[in-house]
Amino acid sequence: MPMSKNPSKTPIVGIVMGSNSDWDTMQHAAQMLEQFGITHEAKVLSAHRMPDDMFQYAEQASKRGLQAIIAGAGGAAHLPGMLASKTIVPVYGVPVASKYLRGEDSLYSIVQMPKGIPVATFAIGEAGAANAALHVIANLALHDAALATQLEAFRAQQTDAARSMNLPGY
Amino acid sequence: MPMSKNPSKTPIVGIVMGSNSDWDTMQHAAQMLEQFGITHEAKVLSAHRMPDDMFQYAEQASKRGLQAIIAGAGGAAHLPGMLASKTIVPVYGVPVASKYLRGEDSLYSIVQMPKGIPVATFAIGEAGAANAALHVIANLALHDAALATQLEAFRAQQTDAARSMNLPGY
Amino acid sequence: MPMSKNPSKTPIVGIVMGSNSDWDTMQHAAQMLEQFGITHEAKVLSAHRMPDDMFQYAEQASKRGLQAIIAGAGGAAHLPGMLASKTIVPVYGVPVASKYLRGEDSLYSIVQMPKGIPVATFAIGEAGAANAALHVIANLALHDAALATQLEAFRAQQTDAARSMNLPGY
Amino acid sequence: MPMSKNPSKTPIVGIVMGSNSDWDTMQHAAQMLEQFGITHEAKVLSAHRMPDDMFQYAEQASKRGLQAIIAGAGGAAHLPGMLASKTIVPVYGVPVASKYLRGEDSLYSIVQMPKGIPVATFAIGEAGAANAALHVIANLALHDAALATQLEAFRAQQTDAARSMNLPGY
Amino acid sequence: MPMSKNPSKTPIVGIVMGSNSDWDTMQHAAQMLEQFGITHEAKVLSAHRMPDDMFQYAEQASKRGLQAIIAGAGGAAHLPGMLASKTIVPVYGVPVASKYLRGEDSLYSIVQMPKGIPVATFAIGEAGAANAALHVIANLALHDAALATQLEAFRAQQTDAARSMNLPGY
Amino acid sequence: MPMSKNPSKTPIVGIVMGSNSDWDTMQHAAQMLEQFGITHEAKVLSAHRMPDDMFQYAEQASKRGLQAIIAGAGGAAHLPGMLASKTIVPVYGVPVASKYLRGEDSLYSIVQMPKGIPVATFAIGEAGAANAALHVIANLALHDAALATQLEAFRAQQTDAARSMNLPGY
Amino acid sequence: MPMSKNPSKTPIVGIVMGSNSDWDTMQHAAQMLEQFGITHEAKVLSAHRMPDDMFQYAEQASKRGLQAIIAGAGGAAHLPGMLASKTIVPVYGVPVASKYLRGEDSLYSIVQMPKGIPVATFAIGEAGAANAALHVIANLALHDAALATQLEAFRAQQTDAARSMNLPGY
Amino acid sequence: MPMSKNPSKTPIVGIVMGSNSDWDTMQHAAQMLEQFGITHEAKVLSAHRMPDDMFQYAEQASKRGLQAIIAGAGGAAHLPGMLASKTIVPVYGVPVASKYLRGEDSLYSIVQMPKGIPVATFAIGEAGAANAALHVIANLALHDAALATQLEAFRAQQTDAARSMNLPGY
């Protein structure tokens, strides 16, 4: 399974979102994949405004070689669940914060899927986007020793960064 | 626009729901349409387990003569919104009460649609199902004087029934 | 059913709201009707400060030729439900975001109507206002082929706009 | 201000509710008034099914001698607020527990009134109904020394009852 | 019952609040009383930092001639309920918006009183403060024809103000 | 600091609650103290119906030798916070589940105390009652080596009990 | 990667939960894995009562060959997140419904993980448990053509089952 | 038990938090301890990024002489509960406000601990941090007469400060 930062390579992860206004949140998924050298693509794919594109994307996901789809949406967030209904490629959902209900609606719309069609859901906002990518990476790392080592190193650096945090006066 | 209680006639309203467990709720929509003699159909149409059927249903709604689709679903309730994304036939959403969050998740998943694709949403549960039907009937009545008269009579009877409610001892 | 952008024509849609502070939200309904050439009127009609005007408005809605009333209100939002109790003209409710509870109170006050008196409810805020108008347009389009075509075109443009959204670097 | 337990006397407090199903809750208001010998009436007065009766009730409240209206309703509970909009007689609202949202919707619909039209709101359910009556009694007692004495005695008995509560084994 | 704008006169309404930071909200109660010429006092009376003062205030309320206590507090808002436990003078509670939960905690802490000790509760924030005062005024007006006339005029002006609201372009 | 299971000994922990209906919950605190041989008392002490008793209880807590007060209440739960306002003896609050809001109101009313008067809050219901007692025991154990040993043993047994849980078929 | 229904085979998926009372929910994960012939283990592993076992479990997960850990817990549900902090094996969290807050607390405690440590979260209750297993299966199927075929067949059967649902009278 | 502001002295209270971004909140605990001359330490100790450090900290707490651990965290806030699972030293939890859910998630994650492992929880944000420290001080004061006097004085000053608050114009 060749991985590369080169965007011309075939993507193995797709990042999709309901609108380009979701990019502020979803770029945190892209950056994480970039950091780990996972070839990926990112595009707007609105469940409600581009339903046929969405279905086509899901239908082709497997044969295009995607091993994960990270989908972010806000409000009545149907994108992750509908993609999941159309493919057996694992779907990871990111609740984007909505204007008035701060993502509580997005979270419920994504996580409360009925038995039979799973969507792996993460935290509201940028933390969720980054973590969706990290979960995908952890799955890829099960079959890629170098990536596993890289993930272990990332974790260790993260621990070191937390350990070195100082509080003023202490 | 001929209307009839005869179920063999072409339906002008479709009632769809994610599972037959939603029928306890959604039959209140059917009964209301029945009461007003509106030809209709009712069927299970799961957004997540029957996505292609759902899209096909929406695509054919207009040419099949449907003037309204009443869609009920619970939890991450994507059925009303996804139908709406695929047809310009008006979609009416009914939040079915979910097991743990009592329909708060269903309500948010249905009502919080983004700008551009509307779903007319009603109360959680049987009241919402009945009212979705009544709203459809009110729209049909704009073009059917007899139905308007019937709706006025229904309202008047409803008022009379409320007026005649007694409280023990008063 | 003649429609025209000319505001002097008889309106077929009424947009009402509890206060002029709701206009920031409700103008999105007006703009949508304007865009589709639907004659409409917009006015402040407070349920609590103008109850008699409200009842009169509802009582005259049918004979004045209104085919839809779009009502927006915030907090203990009684306007849509009370209008609905006084007319069989279909009422569409828009929860305007409240100062402290961000429209959760408005949403519940509008959507949780009892069986018998329906209010078609849409999302909190401007998306809901625009979508209420689009739902009305969809109902009008059932009886107006040109409007149906216009609505299909609107949808197609909306799809194109979403499709052409780019994400920086992708 | 003569008060009497005799129900044939002119009532000074009106208890109204949206449906006879609210009586389980609202009878706690009636019992409290009964206990204090406050002449009152109780009746179903649905905001949505009997809007004209509701307005008439509010319009006549003052000249009929009502000094308080206790109004209970559930879900999109508009009865207390709409009565308040039509009379300067003080209105006391009781949120009746709703089937799915347990009265959270009723509470918001009643308490979140806009500036200018007050509704004094009490707890969800029977405690709220009893307390609405007690608040009315407290207002009456400002002008009725005997009633004030009776209210003081009620409080003292209540304190005694709480004081005499035993816990098994302690 | 003499009323006067002159603050040296004996107050018949007490406005109390947990901190001077609540004054932004509670001044709306004071302004309303001022506008109607109701003699009143306003002071900080913290349930948690001044419990003895609070009890003393409640104990003396009746003999000092107070006919109403309007109490505002935020978060775990115990002031209204504890005052009510110590006096039969009617207590009106105003939930002040809290920093993180926007007054949802304040509202529950005030409105959910157990059977036996009532607190008349109003909306979160300034609308609630103003309405608490208006409810007190409505009770006073039951025994003061001039005040009743003044309240009717206030309502009429309020209606006129709402009626004269214009929407740009309509 | 002598401790004994003998209830005639001077209690060092007080368990108080708003009503005997709270005993189903609060007995879990008593049982835990009993199990650890901590002398304690338990009694009904209603903030709203017995305010003076409550203040007296708090005022005497320190001189009576109480080292902790565990207070449970539901709804607008003012008991823990008001006790805390009147004593420097540490107060531990237990939100008792309310009928309609399941303790969400109780929790907010107890935990959201303003800066200056602390109430240590625990989970809604029986888990919270037991844990309040355990937290008190942990504080006592700081000064009582035998009790610390007993607490360590309790923890070890708890761990063993969890370890020995079997799942059918595994 | 050999898979077998034989439970003596080395498990590749671990199902853990905070208490045996969670088994009613979590058995739905086990049944799904069983149905797909995925070797797995299931055990109680309480974050709070067995913290060292929990850490050891996580530390050994990778070398023991686990490719996924499905962790269910209720209330302050720390098990999934803490396991995730100690291993790079992907962790899937299932919010078990709590007694009073119906799993809203469980959901927030599991899904709202900070950036850096992901937990893939699923719906509250049995649907979430089953879907966590299905998501794991989907990941395994990326590397196992037979399993992919089996998953496609499962989906097809699920679709057929939904399609064959009848509504009484329709 | 010697106490000193000198930070070189052995701390008897540990303040820990998940990230240095929590310091804005948690410094209010430190300042309170400082004000009372309680030797303490403050450090970042992330449950998810430093799990081993966290366990070690809890394991050594007792032998290091800590009499209290004040732990603050936001979102899926596992730090207080996990520390409590590993030590019998009393743990005090502070819910730090999260970006999107304003600390509602933090509160639930901290307070809803299962029976057996207690975390004493305080209000969301800075009030909670200060009050956690005050609760610790109250426990220390049970065994330190001078500290008790100091706490009484603090309370008295606090009362005086509240009493001297003026409202403009009153």
CA dist., res. G41 & res. G37, Å (int):
12
Q: Do H109 and G78 touch (CB under 8 A)?
A: yes
Query: HSE (CB half, 13 Å, CA atoms) of C97?
Result: 16
Q: How far is H155 from chain E (nearest CA, A)?
A: 8
End-to-end CA distance of chain A: 48
Residue A74 and residue A96 in contact, taking contact as beta carbons nearer than 8 Å: yes
Q: How far is H93 from chain E (nearest CA, A)?
A: 17
The pLDDT, as a whole number, for residue H153 is: 98
- pLDDT bucket at G4, cuts 50 / 70 / 90: very low
Residue A94 and residue A115 in contact, taking contact as beta carbons nearer than 8 Å: no
Measured CA angle at G126 (ends G125, G130), to 5 deg: 125
Give buried/exposed letters for B23-61 (b at 16+ CB in 10 A, else e). bebbbbbbebbbebebbbbbbbbbbbbbbebbbebbeeb
Residues of C with Cβ-Cβ distance to A49 under 8 angstroms? 158-159, 161-162
Residue C72 and residue C45 in contact, taking contact as beta carbons nearer than 8 Å: no
Q: Do C123 and B111 touch (CB under 8 A)?
A: yes
Residues of D with Cβ-Cβ distance to F27 under 8 angstroms? 167
Q: What residue of B is the nearest CA neighbor of A51? A: B85
Q: How far is E129 from chain D (nearest CA, A)?
A: 8
- Whether G6 has a pLDDT exceeding 90, the answer reads no
Instruction: Give the other-Cβ count within 10 Å of C160's Cβ.
Output: 11
- pLDDT bucket at G3, cuts 50 / 70 / 90: very low
Taking only the tens place, the pLDDT of each residue in F2-35 is 344 454 679 999 999 999 999 999 999 999 999 9
E46 vs H97, H162, H166: nearest CB: H162
Give the distance, in angstroms, between the CA of residue H54 and the centroid of all CA atoms in the same chain: 16
Q: Partners for G (CB, 8 Å, 3+ pairs)?
A: A, B, F, H
Give pTM, 2 decimals: 0.96
Q: Which two tokens stand for residue E135?
A: 């409810």
| DSSP-assigned beta bridge partners for residue F41 | F14
The pLDDT, as a whole number, for residue F127 is: 98
Q: Which two tokens stand for residue A142?
A: 């099960």
Mutate which: E100, E106, E165, E166, vs C, most C CBs within 10 A:
E165
Taking only the tens place, the pLDDT of each residue in D110-142 is 999 999 999 999 999 999 999 999 999 999 999
CA dist., res. B94 & res. D100, Å (int):
14
Residue F45 and residue F14 in contact, taking contact as beta carbons nearer than 8 Å: no
Q: How far is D43 from chain B (nearest CA, A)?
A: 7
CA dist., res. H37 & res. H32, Å (int):
9
E47 vs F52, F75, F85: nearest CB: F85
Residue E106 and residue E130 in contact, taking contact as beta carbons nearer than 8 Å: no
Residue B160 is labelled as binding a ligand? no
Chains B and C touch (3+ CB pairs under 8 A): yes
- pLDDT bucket at D94, cuts 50 / 70 / 90: very high
Mutate which: D121, D137, D165, vs E, most E CBs within 10 A:
D121
- Whether E8 has a pLDDT exceeding 80, the answer reads no
Closest CA to A16 of A64, A70, A53: A70
CA dist., res. A142 & res. A102, Å (int):
35
**pLDDT, mean of residues E150-169:** 97
What is the edge-to-edge ordering of all strands in the sheet holding G68-74? A40-44, A13-17, A68-74, A91-96, A120-121, G120-121, G91-96, G68-74, G13-17, G40-44
Closest CA to C132 of C52, C69, C40: C69
Which residue in this structure is represented by tokens 């994400």? C167
Residues of C with Cβ-Cβ distance to D52 under 8 angstroms? 55
The pLDDT, as a whole number, for residue A110 is: 98
Q: Do E159 and C49 touch (CB under 8 A)?
A: yes
Instruction: Give the other-Cβ count within 10 Å of C146's Cβ.
Output: 10
Report how many helices (DSSP H) and strands (DSSP E) chain C contains, helices first: 6, 5
Residues of C with Cβ-Cβ distance to E127 under 8 angstroms? 75
Q: Partners for F (CB, 8 Å, 3+ pairs)?
A: D, E, G, H
Integer-rounded Cα Rg, in Å, for chain E is: 16
Residue C75 and residue C21 in contact, taking contact as beta carbons nearer than 8 Å: no
Q: Specify whether the backbone of C29 is left (phi greater than 0), alpha (psi in -120 to 50) or beta.
A: alpha
| DSSP-assigned beta bridge partners for residue F42 | F15
Q: How far is A103 from chain H (nearest CA, A)?
A: 7
Q: Do B81 and A76 touch (CB under 8 A)?
A: yes
Which secondary-structure segment (H or E) carries D147? helix D145-163
- pLDDT bucket at A9, cuts 50 / 70 / 90: confident
The pLDDT, as a whole number, for residue H8 is: 60
Interface of chain C toward chain A, CB-CB under 8 angstroms = 97, 102-104, 123-125, 127, 158-159, 161-163, 165-168, 170
Q: What residue of F is the nearest CA neighbor of H139? A: F90
More confidently predicted of B102 and F1: B102
Q: Do H76 and G104 touch (CB under 8 A)?
A: no
Q: Which two tokens stand for residue D104?
A: 């959270």
- pLDDT bucket at G2, cuts 50 / 70 / 90: very low
Q: Is G158 exposed, middle or buried (0-12, 13-18, 19+ CB in 10 A)?
A: middle
Q: What share of chain E is helix, strand, coil (3-state, %, to 5)?
A: 45, 15, 40
Taking only the tens place, the pLDDT of each residue in G54-81 is 999 999 999 999 999 999 999 999 999 9
DSSP strand pairing (G13-17 vs B40-44): unpaired
Chains F and C touch (3+ CB pairs under 8 A): no
Integer-rounded Cα Rg, in Å, for chain D is: 16
> Number of residue pairs across F and H with CB atoms under 8 Å?
112
Taking only the tens place, the pLDDT of each residue in B138-165 is 999 999 999 999 999 999 999 999 999 9
Residues of B with Cβ-Cβ distance to D99 under 8 angstroms? 125
Q: Which two tokens stand for residue E53?
A: 């003062």
A105 vs B82, B112, B117: nearest CB: B112
Residues of E with Cβ-Cβ distance to F72 under 8 angstroms? none
Q: Do E20 and H102 touch (CB under 8 A)?
A: no
Q: What share of chain G is helix, strand, coil (3-state, %, to 5)?
A: 45, 15, 40
**pLDDT, mean of residues G44-49:** 98
**pLDDT, mean of residues D64-86:** 98
CATH 3.40.50.1970 at F13-162, yes or no: yes
Q: Do A113 and G120 touch (CB under 8 A)?
A: no
Which secondary-structure segment (H or E) carries A92? strand A91-96
Instruction: Give the other-Cβ count within 10 Å of C157's Cβ.
Output: 11
Residues of D with Cβ-Cβ distance to C108 under 8 angstroms? 76, 101, 104-105, 108-109
Residue D102 is labelled as binding a ligand? no
Residues of E with Cβ-Cβ distance to C13 under 8 angstroms? none
Residue C29 and residue C70 in contact, taking contact as beta carbons nearer than 8 Å: yes
**pLDDT, mean of residues B77-85:** 98
Residues of D with Cβ-Cβ distance to B104 under 8 angstroms? 101
DSSP strand pairing (G120-121 vs G91-96): parallel
- Whether D57 has a pLDDT exceeding 60, the answer reads yes
The pLDDT, as a whole number, for residue E9 is: 80
Taking only the tens place, the pLDDT of each residue in C113-139 is 999 999 999 999 999 999 999 999 999
The pLDDT, as a whole number, for residue G8 is: 60
Q: Which residues, 6 or more positions from C161, have their beta carbon under 8 angstroms from its beta carbon? A: A49
Closest CA to C137 of B72, A49, B120, B128: B120
DSSP strand pairing (B40-44 vs B13-17): parallel
The pLDDT, as a whole number, for residue B9 is: 79
Taking only the tens place, the pLDDT of each residue in H38-92 is 999 999 999 999 999 999 999 999 999 999 999 999 999 999 999 999 999 999 9
Residue E144 is labelled as binding a ligand? no
The pLDDT, as a whole number, for residue C4 is: 41
Q: What residue of A is the nearest CA neighbor of H42? A: A170
Which residue in this structure is represented by tokens 């049909």? B140
Which secondary-structure segment (H or E) carries E43? strand E40-44
Interface of chain A toward chain H, CB-CB under 8 angstroms = 97, 102-104, 123-125, 127, 158-159, 161-163, 165-168, 170
The residue type found at A129 is A
Residue numbering of the annotated binding site of F: 19, 22, 49
Taking only the tens place, the pLDDT of each residue in D142-153 is 999 999 999 999
Integer-rounded Cα Rg, in Å, for chain H is: 16
- Whether B112 has a pLDDT exceeding 70, the answer reads yes
The pLDDT, as a whole number, for residue A8 is: 60
End-to-end CA distance of chain E: 48
Closest CA to G64 of G27, G20, G14: G14
- Whether A3 has a pLDDT exceeding 90, the answer reads no
Average pLDDT of chain F to the nearest whole number: 95
Residues of D with Cβ-Cβ distance to C47 under 8 angstroms? 81-82, 85
Q: Which two tokens stand for residue B99?
A: 């097991």
Q: How far is D88 from chain C (nearest CA, A)?
A: 12
| DSSP-assigned beta bridge partners for residue C68 | C13
Closest CA to H7 of A160, A167, F141, A163: A167
Q: Do B117 and A48 touch (CB under 8 A)?
A: yes
ipTM of model over 0.90: yes
The pLDDT, as a whole number, for residue C1 is: 35
Please provide the DSSP assignment of E50-101 as one string.
Answer: -HHHHHHHHHHHTTTT-SEEEEEEESS--HHHHHHHT-SS-EEEEEEPPTTT
Mutate which: F17, F20, F91, F108, vs E, most E CBs within 10 A:
F108
